[in-house]
Structure 1
Amino acid sequence: MPTSKTVKEQQRAYAERLLTALGRELAERDVTVVLVVDQDGRPALDVTDSRCRMRRVFVQLPFCWFYWGDQGDERVSFLQMPAAVDRIERAAREGWRDGEQGELSIDLNKMLDAYRG
């Protein structure tokens, strides 16, 4: 009997497929990318900018985003892949913003708890 994947495993596999497709498109445009897994087990793309600085591009599945920081202009919808590739390529060519990469962390469980009870 085949074993079914857990929801988390399915989500991770989907995120990896999205990042692989993004990476392939960026590589075709001569943007340096490497698919990695961070210390928390999240798949990401290491993307090098025009000044040889690296940022990680992650996937936020509930909001359908690729993101590379916590600022409003550091995320783009993955539902329109060509536009996402264009935006991330442009950001890498212009150079990542100075400073540490911000972490976009949205805990949906906390949001749900706020509306319960």
Structure 2
Amino acid sequence: MQTSKTIKERQRAYAERLLTALGEHLTSRAVTTVLIVAENGRPALDVTDSRCRMRRVFVHLPFCWFYWGDQDDERVSFLQMDGAVDRIERAVREGWREGEQGELSVDLNKILDAYRG
């Protein structure tokens, strides 16, 4: 399925562009960021907080989120970049929450597959 691969490649490129823009905004506010590719091939932004702890910020395209954990206050819409930058900068200044970084488990592909049956 060449079409599916092309869509996935486009989604990944879009996520990388969003993370690059986020990283540029945060860097201009003296926040340390590095664009990476995570183990599972997803683009991510490594962001260091005020206590020198790193979290990965990911993009969730279907819900238009930047997220850095699984809690309600660990995600923000990327549709309003200025607000997203403000929220993430505030989280960085306050310091990431203690403990391991949670992962969002919303997989829309599994939901879609259930209805294709």
User: Same fold by TM (over 0.5)?
Assistant: yes
Alignment of 1:50-65 (within 5 A): 50-65=50-65
Offset of 1:37 from its aligned partner? Answer: 0.3
The code of the aligned residue for 1:17 comes to R
2:48 counterpart of 1:48: yes
Offset of 1:89 from its aligned partner? Answer: 0.3
- 1:28 matched to which residue of 2? 28
Q: Calculate percent identity across the aligned residue pairs.
A: 82
- 2:68 matched to which residue of 1? 68
More helix by share: 2
CA distance in 2, matches of 1:41, 1:109: 17
Residue aligned with 2:98, SS: coil
2:33 counterpart of 1:15: no
CA distance in 2, matches of 1:37, 1:113: 26
- 1:94 matched to which residue of 2? 94
User: What stretches of structure 1 move > 3 A for 4+ residues in a row?
Assistant: 113-117
Q: Give the structure-2-normalised TM-score.
A: 0.92
- 1:111 matched to which residue of 2? 111
2:57 counterpart of 1:80: no
Q: How many matched pairs?
A: 115
Offset of 1:11 from its aligned partner? Answer: 0.3
- Greater shift after overlay, 6-15 or 106-115? 106-115
CA distance in 2, matches of 1:71, 1:111: 21
CA distance in 2, matches of 1:9, 1:114: 24
CA distance in 2, matches of 1:11, 1:109: 14
Tell me, which stretches of 5 or more residues in structure 1 are unaligned?
Answer: none
CA distance in 2, matches of 1:65, 1:54: 19
CA distance in 2, matches of 1:82, 1:63: 18
Q: Give the structure-1-normalised TM-score.
A: 0.92
